[in-house]
Structure 1
Amino acid sequence: MTRIWIFLVVSVIGVSSDSDMKIFKRTVTTPGCPTGWMAFYGKCYFFSHMTETFSGASAFCQSFNSILAEPKTNTEIGYLSGEIILIGVTDYWVGISDVIQDNHWIYHSSLTPVQLHNWGPHEPSGGHCLVMSGYFHGKYADVDCKTQRRFICERYATLQGTLIG
């Protein structure tokens, strides 16, 4: 009898200490995504460790042929929220704002209205750019667009292999 062993490394989680706060670092190898990006339902996500303003974060994502993440389904919201909870208490820019019209939340890349809202307590509160907040377990909070925050980039996964036919 022949046995075949297949190993797939999805993630390795390590914990280090930084000012008595636990920071989760993930090393991820996922098919169809660049190194350091995580795959989920045909998309790749990059969770930054650096901070930028909303426009700086958007420019950073564009430099990697991606956009600020735009969660459009409950499944995507749940996945991103879960990752934020694992990482710890911090905020992440996503590609949603109301900079064109107050309280009219739109996706940054397409300017189409947001259909699903996942607001944290006492939100929205007057800011014009949206973060998924680790303080609110991944729920939405609106903040000043010029503040420095971590961010999540999103792009479609690429197919690997040879197409025959």
Structure 2
Amino acid sequence: MKLVFCFFGLATVASTERACDNGWLPYRNHCYWFSSNPATFHYAVDTCSERGSNLIEIRDAAEDKWVLLQSLIRGFSQVWIGLTDIVDEGIYVYPSDGAKSVYLNWNIGQPSGGAGENCAAIRTPFQKWHDFPCSNNVSYICKKPAKHFV
């Protein structure tokens, strides 16, 4: 009988811990923070970094669909994602580490902006990615690993 009580007690204590900080939404072992004000791509990257996170780097179709749903719920028409070809035209990489994305969801004919459009965003009405000028003010999402408790 004591074993059951101890287990119940530990489960209760563990459940009071938060995997994500206040204001962050959990999904698949990560925490997401949604901007309340649109910003330029570089401001979004800097803000996410200041929050101990990265501008969202979408890794697979499931995450892409979840981000799209969350963006639609919030009324975002466009959302910056962490992909840019500012260093090497036509080669989109994550700003956090310079790696190429394995998962891509570009709309037909995208990216198309050449040297004038170097930053990627989801266009929620199309449910696909587009390239835009980095100076555009667009909503954004920061992402960081969830806290794990032993």
TM-score (norm 1): 0.73
Q: Count residues with an aligned counterpart.
A: 131
Q: How does 1:14-163 map to 2 (within 5 A)?
A: 31-126=18-113, 127-137=117-127, 139-160=128-149, 163=150
CA shift, 1:125, in A, is 1.8
More strand by share: 1
- 2:11 is matched with none
Higher relative contact order (CA 8 A, sep 6+): 2
TM-score (norm 2): 0.80
Unaligned runs of 5+ in 2: 1-16
More helix by share: 2
Percent same amino acid among aligned pairs? 26
Q: Moved runs in structure 1, 4+ residues, more than 6 A?
A: none
**Superposition RMSD in Å:** 1.6
Q: Distance in 2 between matches of 1:44 and 1:143?
A: 26
CA shift, 1:104, in A, is 0.7
